[in-house]
Structure 1
Amino acid sequence: MKPDTRGLTREFCKLTNTSSKTALSWLKQYDFDIDLACLQWAEKESKAEAEKSIHGLFDQFKSSEDADLIDFDGSAKLFETLGVSFEDPETLLISYLLQSPNMGEFIREKFVQGCSTLSISNLSDLKNAVDQKKSLWKSDRALQKAVYIYSYPLACDKGKKNLSTGIAIELLQVLLKDFFPLLDHWVDFLQNSPIMDRALPKDTWNELWDFSLYTKVSPDCSDYDFEGAWPTLIDEFVVYYRKQVLNLSEYL
């Protein structure tokens, strides 16, 4: 049976306050199922309204020189509003959630995407979301790893892809202090290695997360697999650790 296109169009116009042309086009997308069409329209309008609110939230902290950027000063104001200082590790979590491209900066497009993903449309929503994620961060290994992996490019100098070993050490002492039993030994190893004059490879950074979990199970690295896919720098650390720290003559 052919649908009453005129009647449905009039009804859609009445319910959504749209033009006949828009109503007809929208109804066609959903085979003139007016209930489904109205539902999808309402969701679209709700999303548009929420996105408008997110832009308003961004504008509270945007740079006076670039309307699509929250600069260092704006970020400091944002963190302060959220009850976080730049020295707090939670800044890394917030940077991850709001897709910051560089430490102390947020760009409008990514900020809006991050807020939309978290169903945030105002400052109160943002505070609640950050508080919830902060609590979750203490126990959620997937979130912890995601923030850890994200922190490498985040902390790189603007326009650079590699992170200096010195900065990497500072981050590791924040991000892995509760998860990596051998962290102090790893830091000592790096500080006495030629790598201090170079960047810490990204693959080493990424794999160090899994290595930290391994050392919680095998703190003496007695069954470490040198034939595995571990980065060379981690191989060298295991040799150093078993020989220099544990004083084991047979360390391979």
Structure 2
Amino acid sequence: MSALPTSSTDHPPHGHPENITTASTQTTDKPATSSHPPPSKPDPTLSSNASQRGLSSTAAARSTEFSSLTIKLRQALRQFPDFPSPGILFEDILPIFADPSLHEALLRALELHVTHAYSDAQKPDVIVGLEARGFLFGPSLALRLGASFVPVRKKGKLPGPCETAGYQKEYGEDFFQMQSDGVKPGHKVLVVDDIIATGGSAAAAGLLVKKLGGTLLGYIFILELDFLKGRAKLDAPAYTLLSS
């Protein structure tokens, strides 16, 4: 960003520097054909080691695919200086959703992250998306993962019995709500949003998950205003997809 945003609200416009470490590409040892491999290296000719070699090759391919996808996504972002006010560099993520191939790339990258970061036993049952930009990709990601999608909205926007959690904004307190039957006790949950800024709204969503008896696996964001140190407010692992 060319300058820091003048507002410290949790959901400022998309002026986001990015912050993530992408997965590193793994390499596999070439089979030894002229001599027996040392004890520290498995013999590639043994069938007992074939499955391990296959796993390494698959992991390397997925890492390469992930790196390619994130590069494509970063290149798709548009920057608008001094919007919506002087001193803010606005990072526009909407071109990703305007192009079907980029939209697919976003979902695939997120899917690769989740399947790599969480074992089958930890597979999320629910994706919780924050109002409003978490709604852009949360439902599609949930569908790909075979999970349900549950929205978190501002107080008074959802019908029926709701659980409520407050969070601090620059000029006072605001409230998030989730329908009381959205998350069941024992459900494993990921919270998603486009950006993490001060972390207050994401933390409120995590609190709602816990109030309803869910297990909070972590948070996923596309971008991060890392100078606001919002992830310090979160009590579960936070992951940001794109970095500069």
* TM-score exceeds 0.5: no
| Structure number having the greater strand percentage | 2
Which has the bigger relative contact order, CA under 8 A and spacing at least 6? 2
Normalization by structure 2: what TM-score? 0.31
Normalization by structure 1: what TM-score? 0.30
